[in-house]
Structure 1
Amino acid sequence: MKIAMNRFISASTKIIILINLLFLFSSTIHADERKDSIPLSLKTNAVEWSVFAPNVAAEYGLNKHISADIDLGINAWNRPNNKKYRFMHITGELRYWTHEVFQKGFWGIHASAGSFNINKVKTLFFPFKKDYRYQGTFYNIGVGYGRRWNIDGHWDIEAEIGLGYYYALYDRYNCETCGAKLDENKKGFFGPTKVAVNLVYTLGKKEEKIKVLPAVYTPRPHKKLTPAEKYKNIEAIAEKYPFVREVGSEARRDRRLTVRFPVNNAVIKGEYMGNASSLRDILQAVQDISVDQYADLNSISITGFASPEGNEEYNRQLSKERAQALKEYILNFTSVDADIITISAEGEDWMGLRDAVAKSKMAEKNQILNIIDNTPEDLRKEKLIKLNGGQTWYKLLHTIFPWLRDACYINVWYKKK
């Protein structure tokens, strides 16, 4: 075992040096791109845990499309009947993300070094017979493809499969435990080099950038224009963005435009539940109105909401903070005055819940609607929690409540000159 450990240490040292060179090379080439805060991911592989192998990995974003990953794993336990699938490994990978670092799909090139002690076990990674015990070290290099899916804010699920070439140096034993060594061997073969289903937590998650097209200023013509000609541009803006309203018209109260928040949170996250599209439309509309020659940006109204779970007073404050967060976001990215943006806090969104349940296919739909329609607001929550032994409340928490945690009823008002 001492020889195997020395081989592992030697192999690991080479891999670490290779990884550092790759990291340095990529960082140098793309140094001019590293203008934003790049996130760091910590993760663990469920596939290795399935064979009782604790493991941990860290991944660092080097620039917009390149990241570097290193992971360690160990299985130091014997199985019953003297079965063995003991191993240690260190793996480094350089990844290219097709969309943006830590988002959607990626290609990777990886290299590993490790030690193993296998007996009476058939494995995916080592094509050895079960008639002998094998102990030694291995190296591999491979290419993989993977994809990441966001669960909630900083949490992601990541899957990857890799194929490549192995080279193993090992001793073969006839006895299961302490028999004499039969021979020393080396073997090269192609096979799967990486199989991973990772639970990922990202620190300092990079927000999706909201791109706004520059508004085009057209000089005022000398000839006198008809009202139809003057207001053609602002009316086109209002048609494109239905939340843009002329002063005096009816306000919109719907969720066609909304900015959503994670539970118990009032921080705007561009990548969360489609927020990027809503934020982009708001900023674009405000900017386009601001440069229009024949219309003034009059005001902006925002309403904040919270889902009904938790304390009512706390939820009202949370709904206010959500509306305020969107107001500050608009102020940060436009030149409008703070005085023209008004916010309101409506607390727990019971009407939004009712509308969503009415449109759903839930088996308990009628029971829920009956409670909402015929129970005082201060007693509804308790009845819903008890309904069907709590199963209905659990469904609401995970299927409908996330859509009620938002800043919505957004109206951008203009006045014709």
Structure 2
Amino acid sequence: MNRNLTTLLCSLIVALYFIYGANTLHAQVQKDSVRIFFYQGRADLDMKLRSNKLELERLLDLCSSIEDTTLYYNNISIKGWTSPEGGISINGSLSKKRTDAIIEFLSTNVQKKINTIDVQFKGSDWNRLLDLVRRDKGIPFQAEAINIVEQLMILDEAEKYKYFDKIRTLHSGRIYAYLYQKVFPELRSTIIQFAKKKKTLFIRFNG
């Protein structure tokens, strides 16, 4: 082999080694997510609601990449969520219907095989609620709202709803009214996460 070419290849291998810190370059994982929103109490896909039409089109584009020959694994995770005002039983059922709507959409519009579909429907999205309450500076008495949501996070699902009811009447309902109008619509959604891995590149050092 030409000496200059050998030197170039060795330099490239060494550079890759120091960049990745190992003898193996692990599979690159790419994740994309699509969030579809729903009206209160509903589970039908409304293309006119917010950016639903564009997001569903983007989901189909992601699914179309399954045929990429550089990929060896693909996975879709579908998580259905609700806002907390409906109660544990209603919200559990509603979140399932919302995931079902996405599954039906995929079944109708995607012909390619998807290796894994992980479906979760857990009712109210408490984690997202906490995140939004922490970030929204417009919430009246924000510190108190944050405190209540933080405390309910350690409770079981049924107790979460009971504890959250404190907000309904706190400060004459001002906190709850704001959440109902500005924050709850952000929780009425289903998130679809798409992950794909590229083939692993192995680099072996002799000696």
TM more than 0.5: yes
Deviations 1:243-292 (A, max 9, x none): xxx9885977xxx63100000011111110111121111101111x1332
Give the number of the structure whose alpha-carbon radius of gyration is greater: 1
Structure 2 gap segments, 5+ residues each: 1-25, 200-207
Tell me the CA shift for residue 346 of structure 1.
Answer: 2.1
Q: CA 1:269–1:389 in structure 2 vs 1: closer, same or farther (change >3 Å)? A: same
Q: CA 1:367–1:300 in structure 2 vs 1: closer, same or farther (change >3 Å)? A: same
Tell me which of 325, 349, 356 is aligned to 2:125.
Answer: 349
Q: CA 1:337–1:293 in structure 2 vs 1: closer, same or farther (change >3 Å)? A: closer
User: 3-state SS of the aligned residue for 1:265?
Assistant: coil
Structure 1 gap segments, 5+ residues each: 1-245
1:413 alignment partner in structure 2: 195
Tell me which of 109, 113, 119 is aligned to 1:333.
Answer: 109
CA contact (8 A) 2:29 2:195 kept: no
CA contact (8 A) 1:356 1:400 kept: yes
CA contact (8 A) 2:80 2:98 kept: yes
- Answer 1 or 2: which has greater helix percent: 2
2:57 alignment partner in structure 1: 280
CA contact (8 A) 2:75 2:195 kept: yes
Tell me which of 168, 187, 191 is aligned to 1:404.
Answer: 187
Q: Which amino acid aligns with 1:388?
A: H
Is structure 2 residue 166 aligned with structure 1 residue 383?
yes
- Give the TM-score of the pair, scaled to structure 2: 0.72
Q: CA RMSD in A?
A: 2.4
Q: Which amino acid aligns with 1:363?
A: P
- Give the TM-score of the pair, scaled to structure 1: 0.37
The percent of aligned pairs where both chains have the same amino acid is: 26
- Answer 1 or 2: which has greater strand percent: 1
Taking the aligned partners of 2:169 and 2:127, their CA distance within structure 1 comes to 20
2:148 alignment partner in structure 1: 371
Runs of 4+ in structure 1 off by over 4 angstroms are: 246-252
Is structure 2 residue 134 aligned with structure 1 residue 358?
yes
Query: How many residues matched?
Result: 167
Tell me the CA shift for residue 374 of structure 1.
Answer: 2.2
CA contact (8 A) 1:299 1:341 kept: yes
Moved more, 306-315 or 294-303: 294-303
Q: Which amino acid aligns with 1:393?
A: Y
Q: CA 1:292–1:250 in structure 2 vs 1: closer, same or farther (change >3 Å)? A: closer
2:21 alignment partner in structure 1: none
Q: CA 1:294–1:251 in structure 2 vs 1: closer, same or farther (change >3 Å)? A: closer
Deviations 1:320-375 (A, max 9, x none): 21112112112211113477322101211111111111111223211111111224
